A and B are shown apart, each in its own frame.
Chain A
Amino acid sequence: MSKKVVVLAESREGALRNVSFEAIAAGKKISDGGEVVSVLIGSQVSGLADELFAYGADKVVTVEDAKLEQYSSDGYAQALLAVIEQESPEGLVFGHTALGKDLSPKIAGRLNSGLVSDVTSIEDGPVFIRPIYSGKAFEKKVIKDGLTFITIRPNNIAPLEKEEGRSGEVSSVSVDIKDLRTIIKDVVRKATDGVDLSEAKVIVAGGRGVKSEEGFEPLKELADLLGGAVGASRGACDADYCDYSLQIGQTGKVVTPDLYIACGISGAIQHMAGMSNSKVIVAINKDPEANIFKVADYGIVGDLFEVVPLLIEEFKKVKVS
């Protein structure tokens, strides 16, 4: 039976995040031929509607208010609950991003509904597949009754093919946003070039073998060259070579980029849980017995300080040609 599904679009610095399009694709799958309504929340966001139509949204609802310029759980919840009341959807899809993770349990709590978080794939039913134990195992979940509410992990569910010129109905909901109990006073951007680890297509990660904070420089250069992000193992973070926000593993972030280049990482179970579902893994390590080679598609046994600069040179040559 076809369903109406509301999906949340997320933008950053005026541009839609990819996960917004992935959410539309997930919404289509759940809707089973029904309508997918994409929601845009912010202060001036209606200009982004066309791109949502191009990626398959049937309808776009905007909620615009100066108080929604920055995310707050209270403000966004008020906006979304108003849209949900108007649209009465049977399904709801958010990205499993910082925003989605923060907001979705509040909405589920308010609506007294189930919520399947961090979905990586959807089968007919719908049955939702999600990693548990940071990807050491997977579970298939169904929602027993009520709203079909999920968050999807970025980079896992492919967006629909873009169809320029596709259009649809845009409507706006006005909400009196009030009583915000948490206020953002300041934001310090740490992420390099805005490439976030959880959405990066390429990750260059360093472990204890990187030996120092400076040791991360060549890794960063390689990541920048490939339009990717830098990550790290717990060993490197514990040794203060880098910030904890870069940590990949069972404690830390779980990532699934197209290409993961592990430099000087031995491959502790807790690290591998965070990256072994990457599409292609390259390991560079001096120790030929290192565990990381067991999950690597390609391995180079050697000193990362020799190999990484050579890799940078080689990629530069390839890019020029």
Chain B
Amino acid sequence: MNIYVLMKRTFDTEEKISVQGGKIAEDGAEFIINPYDEYAIEEAIQLRDEHGGEVTVVSVGNEETEKQLRTALAMGADKAVLVNVEDDLDETDQFTTAKILAEYLKDKEADLIIGGNVAIDGGSGQVGPRVAEQLNIPYVTTITSIKIEGDTVTIVRDVEGDSETIETSLPLLVTAQQGLNDPRYPSLPGIMKAKKKPLDELELDDLDLEEEDVEPKTETVEIYLPPAKEAGRILEGDVDAQVRELVDLLRKEAKVI
């Protein structure tokens, strides 16, 4: 089975965010594989081990993204591809990323494409379904289980807490939800092997794309931090009195009950 994983490099979830010169400050921040894409990588590896084939992890990013791609190779992916847009593009949006990925994937005869259902930075969740639409293949988002028998695929997806069982077929794109699996940590032999695995680097030129083909449709005009929330009131007295006061405050001061 020919499996592709769509991966994004993101800020670590434990990082605090600050804004400098109208942009999110990246200095000294820890970067990770987007956590939802980690589920995607793990699932791809398990499916390859079960059905045979190859796992290729693809990312649109910059030179720094190599580190996360190496981590994916160390987990067990076979190949990695970086589409480096650092020199070509100042601004990107989901249209841009999806267009580049679809252009890369269009002649790859992928049986299965897996991505995270959302990236924890931008939080749009658009790229997966956009890529599927451009490749004209079906997609299923927020999956928590996938079974493949021949061309028939049975999936369970999370829909706001409900579980839907879906039947569909290959070729297919799916996006991973938490609960799909427990991603492995790269082992030491895995890390050693990863150094020798192929990591190709492409630019827009290599995909026959011009800058104007992928020009973003949306523009970010401002980035700002929410006003710092002031610490509220710690109630005092015995527990019974505190509880009575709380209920009273919620009704009369906060007016939420």
Contact = CB atoms under 8 A, between A and B. Distances in A.
Interface range on chain A (Cβ under 8 Å from partner): 35 or more
Interface in B170-224: 178-179, 216-224
A314 B244 contact: yes
Interface string B26-47: 0000000001100000000000
Interface in B93-144: 93-95, 98, 120-134, 138-142
A281 to B, nearest CB: 8
Interface string B226-240: 100101111100011
Contacts of B129: 73, 102, 105-106, 109
B126 A104 contact: yes
Given A184-B165, A184-B166, A269-B16, A300 B132 contact: no
B167 interface: yes
B213 to A, nearest CB: 11
A307 B243 contact: yes
B18 to A, nearest CB: 9
B220 A300 contact: no
A186 B130 CA distance: 26
B19 interface: yes
A213 to B, nearest CB: 16
Interface stretch (A41-49, A52-60, A142-150, A155-163): A142-150
B232 A143 contact: no
A109 B130 contact: yes
A1 interface: no
A298 B229 contact: no
Interface in A163-192: 181-191
Contacts of A245: 158, 161, 179
A279 interface: yes
Contacts of B95: 108, 112-115
A298 B235 contact: yes
Contacts of B179: 243-245
B247 interface: yes
Contact of A270 (B14, B132, B142, B224): B14
B24 interface: yes
A277 B226 CA distance: 9
Shortest 9 CB-CB distances between A and B: which pairs? A114-B217, A109-B133, A181-B138, A191-B161, A297-B232, A105-B129, A105-B126, A244-B179, A186-B165
10 contacts: A73-B138, A102-B142, A113-B95, A137-B19, A140-B223, A202-B256, A251-B36, A296-B231, A301-B234, A306-B239
Interface of B: 11, 13-17, 19, 24, 35-36, 93-95, 98, 120-134, 138-142, 154, 158-169, 178-179, 216-226, 229, 231-235, 239-240, 242-244, 246-247, 249-251, 254, 256-257
Given A138-B225, A244-B179, A250-B120, 18 more contacts: A109-B131, A109-B134, A132-B123, A133-B17, A135-B226, A138-B223, A144-B219, A184-B164, A185-B166, A190-B163, A196-B160, A259-B254, A268-B14, A269-B13, A270-B14, A298-B233, A307-B242, A311-B243
Interface of A: 73-74, 97-98, 101-102, 104-106, 108-110, 112-118, 127, 130-146, 181-191, 196-198, 201-202, 226, 243-247, 249-252, 254, 258-259, 268-270, 273, 276-277, 279-282, 288, 293-302, 306-307, 310-311, 314-315, 318
